[in-house]
Amino acid sequence: MVRNRLGAAYRKRARFAAYAFYLVIVAWWALASVSPDVESTARAAFRAGLVEFPGYHVRVVLAVGLVALTVMVVVRLVGTYVSEKRRRQRPSCREHEFDEKVAKDFVAVNDERLGYEMSSELPDLPDYDELPKTDFGIGASWGIFGQSDEDGLLNLHGPATTLQAAQSIVTGEVIRLDVPLDFFDPPLYGRPRYTRNTVVTENGSVDESYSALNPQSSSQWDALSHVAAYPGRYYNGATLDEVLEGRNSIASWAQRGIVGRGVLLDLQRDAELNGQPYDPGSPHAFSVADLERARQRAGVEFRRGDIILLRTGFAAWYAGLGADERQHISDRSNMAAAGLEHTEEMARYLWNIHCSAVVSDTPCVEVFPMGHSSPESPFGILHRALLGHFGMAIGELWWLEELAARSHDDGRATCMLVSAPLYAPGGVGSMANALAIR
């Protein structure tokens, strides 16, 4: 890949030099044709000994070079026209109907359309409206990265994006983005408390074990096996039986690790500056316009493969609660949290910016409670679109306060984000184990 990048750089420079040479010759001939005095003036300068007038053979070489460059430009323009024409003649994904009984054929729609079969070159991602829709009514990316893919949009990460992410490091400061395992106590959603058991051996060493530890009770990742695209089908057409056997598990991400550019959108601070403060512990829904305003305030442009970090203030709000209040909201029927709105517009926006993951300091990323009925359906559970249909990683309950504070101090909203998920075969989630390097 390094050789390919170097070759591309050299070819780019060569093309630039060739086009510059081409423009000089064209400019000379254009001036000579407009003003006959141009060539005679140049010859006078040559006779005066100021410069040497090119001989016959040199002029022949220049003429041949001009012809060759003209042919190159024409061929390039024709090639571009033909490629664009072929692209427009490809069948639209919307022409393919989804059959729930043949999900593998559905996966092949994207495979065939993009001509991608797990090669080293990643395909250009289509826009959301070009994705084929399942019978559930949501555009799906199944097959874009191959029929057996389990990584989803994390396929967008590679050596090139790692090097680009490293460009966000200025001071070398490292900020942990996890909260302690027992920060949410009692755990949300009615999950059980874990217990830590220690044993002192005869030789004085200390061993430990954990009981009832839910990897998603604290700062965590949702694996692509966590929520179905719709009942019975998960990302890339996987069945429930395949998921229970380990497909789409967190182990796939653990093998590769998660390294990319993190982009902080401070939604709480932006809302306050915009004169629209809200309660993080309420079902306040963020719109696409809210995200775009926060992005513009941060002064950043999204890149393919970015990890979007949404600070809502929920984790800091939770830290200020008393024991009784924490106990009350640990029951999901009593819990509310700010988050992304349940709309197709939001799903379309997140897909079209081609991020690899969306992370927040809330228990759900999307606004909670979820919307299970019309008019929010089928986007009332945004997890179905992001995890099940897009293959987009979701991170929840992260601690973004320190990162936000440092970002406000120096005006830098990006960082290199590094995460090592739990290598748990078959696991549907993991502690985040995430660091921001600035």
pLDDT band per the 50, 70, 90 thresholds, residue 35: low
| Residue 396 three-state SS | strand
Of 393, 287, 299, nearest to 345 by C-alpha is 287
3-class DSSP state for residue 58?
Answer: helix
Q: 73 falls in which pLDDT band (50, 70, 90)?
A: low
DSSP 8-state symbol, 179: P
- CA dist 253 and 257 (Å) reads 6
Model pLDDT, residue 183: 97
pLDDT, position 96: 34
- The pTM of this model reads 0.74
- CA-CA distance, 428 to 153, in Å (whole number)? 17
Question: Does pLDDT of 98 surpass 90?
Answer: no
Q: Which residue has the tokens 């423009």?
A: 23
Given phi > 0 = left and psi -120 to 50 = alpha, else beta, which region is 128?
Answer: alpha
Beta-sheet pairing, 339-340 with 393-396:
unpaired
User: What percentage of the chain carries pLDDT values higher than 70?
Assistant: 71
Q: How far apart (Å, rounded) are the C-alpha atoms in residues 33 and 434?
A: 66
> CA distances (Å), 106 to each of 17, 62, 111, 162, 361, in order?
47, 56, 9, 32, 35
- pLDDT tier for residue 94 given thresholds of 50, 70 and 90: very low
